[in-house]
Amino acid sequence: MGNSASKRLRRAAERNDVEEVLQVASANPAAVLRPSLWKQRTAAHLAARAGSAAALAVVLDVAGHAAGGLPTHFLNAPDHAGDTALALAAKHGHADCTRELLEAGASPLPANMQGATALHYAAARGQAACIRLLLSAPVRMPEGGRCRAADALVPDVIDVERYIDTRTHAGLCALHFAVLCGSQTAVAELVNHGAQLDTPLLSLGFRAPALMPACLAAGSTALHMAAATGRAQLCILLLHAQRTRHPGLELRRMRNARGMTPLNVALLCQHRNLASLLTAGSTIPAPLPPLRRSTAGQQALPPLLRQQLLSLVHRAALLATEPA
């Protein structure tokens, strides 16, 4: 009876059926705490994954009453892959569910079996709103103090690193994922929250993700990745942040394990339009604001057309700075 009720409740939470969630929970409050047998996902996991914010709020409220206070082990419970409900909400870009879980006390810090956190998931899919919520959330430190999640020290694949800069077992940090995803808004969020610009890619081995260009090697920075994918505006954004935050740092001179600079990588990948921008010491134009999402009566530019437009704008900026 208990398993049947919990299964019914999980399905109702997934499809955002608040009425049925309340109906099942009123008869069997403990059902909300039970995970599925196979994937070990609770009603909170399923609601967060589906973006069912209303049902998620009810599930958290019922769980708090059933356990005499919302238990941390329920909020941060891992599923079969080690993902928490918060990680699933961030992965699928459900900012309202992400906010609901954070306000309830869920921690953004836990990593799954591949070392991926909610932040890595959000960055890999360009979920800028979720990135902002995750990094600004207050977290409690082991010594008793509190800080924003971005600055919390957590285990990295090598040592201990700030949450915003920690890497997965594949050797990539959140900024790497955001650049490879091609999301200017996600990269801007990470940079504005203080992400390190020169964090190197670790040795990939057999864990290399499918989106990783083959021309990249260990030691590559986010700028190497922007160069490999030919994204001029991301290169400009990273270089502008370097000039503003670290005037003495020159990302364009940094070499990966193959001895290649970002310029070498861009030329190898046939992105010759980036040559002048990635030449060390050359002028860095101001970054363009990200394009807004389309609204009624408007259409967003196709990705290829947008990239061509950004390239033309960059060339025009360079011509304008050349001496007569």
Residue 1 vs residue 98, higher pLDDT:
98
CB atoms within 10 A of CB 143: 5
Structure tokens at 57: 């709020």
The reported pLDDT for the residue numbered 141 is: 79
Residues 6+ apart with CB under 8 A from 296: none
Which band of pLDDT confidence, cut at 50, 70 and 90, is reported for residue 116?
very high
Q: Which residues contact 159 (CB under 8 A, 6 or more apart)?
A: none
The residues near 20 (Cβ < 8 Å, ≥ 6 apart) are 8, 9, 12
* pTM confidence score: 0.86
For the chain, domain boundaries: 1-106
In the CATH hierarchy, which fold is given to the domain comprising 1-106? 1.25.40
Alpha-helical (H) ranges within the chain are 2-14, 18-27, 43-50, 53-66, 72-75, 85-91, 95-104, 118-124, 128-136, 174-181, 184-192, 222-228, 232-245, 262-268, 275-278, 303-321
Which has the closest alpha carbon to 100: 86, 88, 113, 112? 86
At residue 302 the predicted structure's pLDDT band, cuts being 50, 70 and 90, is: low
For residue 42, which of 10, 70, 19, 67 has the smallest C-alpha distance? 10
HSE-up (13 A, CA, CB side) for residue 304:
0
Q: Which amino acid makes up residue 105?
A: G
Confidence label for 295 from pLDDT (cuts 50, 70 and 90): very low
The residue written with tokens 């190898």 in the block is 268
Reported as a single tens digit per residue, the pLDDT across 181-204 is: 999 999 999 999 999 999 999 875
Helix axis angle, 184-192 relative to 232-245, nearest 10°? 10
The 8-class DSSP code of residue 155 comes to: E
Residues in the chain: 324
Which two structure tokens, joined as six digits, stand for 219?
């030691």
Work out the burial of residue 134: count CB atoms within 10 Å of its CB; fewer than 13 is exposed, 13-18 middle, 19 or more buried.
buried
Sign of CA dihedral 246, 252, 257, 259: negative
Contact criterion met (CB below 8 Å) for 153 and 165: no
Q: What is the tens place of the pLDDT at every residue in 27-73? A: 998 899 999 998 999 999 999 999 999 999 999 999 998 777 788 89
